[in-house]
Chains A and B, each alone.
Chain A
């Protein structure tokens, strides 16, 4: 798979709720990077989010390799994580 086929996802993780919102950019890395920088700048003062740009063949891969953004923060969810 060439770099052109890789898809880019801006993950905006809300530190208060523990939920991640994913903005997909398809294969447009430039657009994704612009959005990345803009999101970071918008959050610079308040730092309410953990923002990261991740890329892979699919969102499923990212949910595996960077699962901590998606596994939730409640004790119940953490317990499930330990059980798995």
Chain B
């Protein structure tokens, strides 16, 4: 394999995360850039007749890819080759739109436009040679305090990649949020907000979890809906599961987290990207935001199961009491007095915090 060939596996599929990840996993050591997205939407106009709805592992002629490549050659900086041994023979490798754009962006910043593609390719080819992934590079970047000067460009590249990856999530995220608004509108004025994950959080997650990859991080794009009742939450979740590709459904209402966090979480696969959907009742939302506010103000450990015990127990008790309200159950006197007792302890804690500040 020649070093200057940057290899990217491309499959056009409705469900690339599921169907291509296996392929990419085994091919990853051979590739410069593991990029399991689909371009079906973008290419649809030109290739509607040629593209079967699910275009996966097969030889490229039977998929109409050959023709597709020619049509888009000027945009794709087409360079393809077959990998040497079966079963890799069917793996068509070439540079795709986003990769070219990434390289273009990066070089515009450094002001070197000429020969940019080749330079970009060399850089990814070098990455392949030492067998490291994007996540590896980010790990180096984060632990950057100790890296040698010659690693600085690499760290900068890693940050570019994280930002680029996040940008690519923006469209799927907006689509998912728009759909969610549509479903939520059945239950009054929809309260829906989306957020793109903070780059430092993305990087720290890559560092913290050695097997994590950008392509597997499910909440770089996240959207939250507040629905008036728990029943509405379950109904919307049901519709999403019926009509969308849901990679994961977590019922934290039926099984709250250890800190008593409650909500319904779904991971939607949307054009190759994983988007997290959170469905909360107003009480669940108020609870989570209050915990967040306390974590922000006095005890960051709260979010990781730590923090002052009286605060933790207080929020657990309040969470239980909210859950009863969401279920339409009457107030439990014992629970109410526990909340009141814990509230006194929290008051003391707040007095202390006020005196210290």
- A binding-site residues for B, Cβ under 8 Å: 1-3, 6, 13, 18, 29, 33, 36-37, 40-41, 44, 47, 50-57, 61-62, 64-69, 71-79, 81-82, 84
A82 in contact with B290 given A1-B181, A3-B174, A74-B354 (CB within 8 Å): yes
Residues of A within 8 Å of B163, CB to CB, are 37
Within 8 A of A (CB), among B185-237: 191-196, 198-200, 224, 226
B297 in complex: contacting residue of A18, A33, A62, CB < 8 Å: A18
The answer on a CB contact under 8 Å between B193 and A2 is no
Residues of B within 8 Å of A36, CB to CB, are 196
The answer on a CB contact under 8 Å between B297 and A73 is yes
Min CB–CB distance A58 → chain B (angstroms): 10
Total of A-B residue pairs, C-beta within 8 Å = 110
The answer on a CB contact under 8 Å between B294 and A3 is no
Min CB–CB distance B325 → chain A (angstroms): 15
A75 in complex: contacting residue of B199, B289, B296, B350, CB < 8 Å: B350
Residues of A within 8 Å of B353, CB to CB, are 75
A76 in complex: contacting residue of B226, B293, B354, CB < 8 Å: B354
Residues of A within 8 Å of B346, CB to CB, are 82
In the complex, B67 has a CB within 8 A of chain A: no
The answer on a CB contact under 8 Å between B343 and A82 is yes
Nearest opposing residue in chain B for A51, CB measure: B198
The answer on a CB contact under 8 Å between A62 and B293 is no
25 contacts between A and B (CB under 8 A): A1-B178, A2-B178, A3-B175, A3-B178, A6-B177, A6-B178, A6-B194, A33-B166, A44-B200, A50-B296, A51-B198, A52-B198, A54-B195, A61-B193, A66-B193, A66-B289, A67-B286, A68-B289, A68-B293, A72-B293, A74-B357, A75-B351, A78-B297, A78-B350, A82-B346
Nearest opposing residue in chain A for B200, CB measure: A40
Residues of B within 8 Å of A54, CB to CB, are 193-195
Nearest opposing residue in chain B for A15, CB measure: B296
In the complex, B276 has a CB within 8 A of chain A: no
The answer on a CB contact under 8 Å between A79 and B350 is yes
Residues of A within 8 Å of B196, CB to CB, are 33, 36, 52-53
In the complex, B292 has a CB within 8 A of chain A: yes
A56 to B296, CA, bound (A): 23
Residues of B within 8 Å of A37, CB to CB, are 163, 199
In the complex, B9 has a CB within 8 A of chain A: no
Residue of B175, B191, B296 with most partner-chain A CB within 10 A:
B296
Min CB–CB distance B206 → chain A (angstroms): 15
Residue of B177, B178, B297 with most partner-chain A CB within 10 A:
B297
15 further contact pairs, Cβ within 8 A, besides A67-B286, A71-B293, A74-B297: A3-B177, A29-B174, A33-B167, A40-B200, A52-B196, A54-B194, A55-B195, A61-B192, A65-B285, A68-B289, A73-B293, A73-B298, A74-B354, A75-B354, A82-B343
A78 to B206, CA, bound (A): 33
The answer on a CB contact under 8 Å between B290 and A66 is no
Overall SS of chain B's interface:
helix
The 3 closest A-B pairs by CB, nearest first: A73-B297, A68-B292, A3-B174
A61 in contact with B191 given A3-B177, A29-B174 (CB within 8 Å): yes
Min CB–CB distance B161 → chain A (angstroms): 12
In the complex, B25 has a CB within 8 A of chain A: no
Within 8 A of A (CB), among B263-314: 285-286, 289-290, 292-298
Residues of B within 8 Å of A66, CB to CB, are 193, 195, 224, 289
A82 to B340, CA, bound (A): 11
In the complex, B22 has a CB within 8 A of chain A: no
The answer on a CB contact under 8 Å between B195 and A53 is yes
The answer on a CB contact under 8 Å between B191 and A64 is yes
Residues of A within 8 Å of B34, CB to CB, are none
A41 to B167, CA, bound (A): 15
A40 to B160, CA, bound (A): 12
A58 to B26, CA, bound (A): 45
The answer on a CB contact under 8 Å between B178 and A78 is no
Nearest opposing residue in chain A for B156, CB measure: A41
Nearest opposing residue in chain B for A53, CB measure: B196
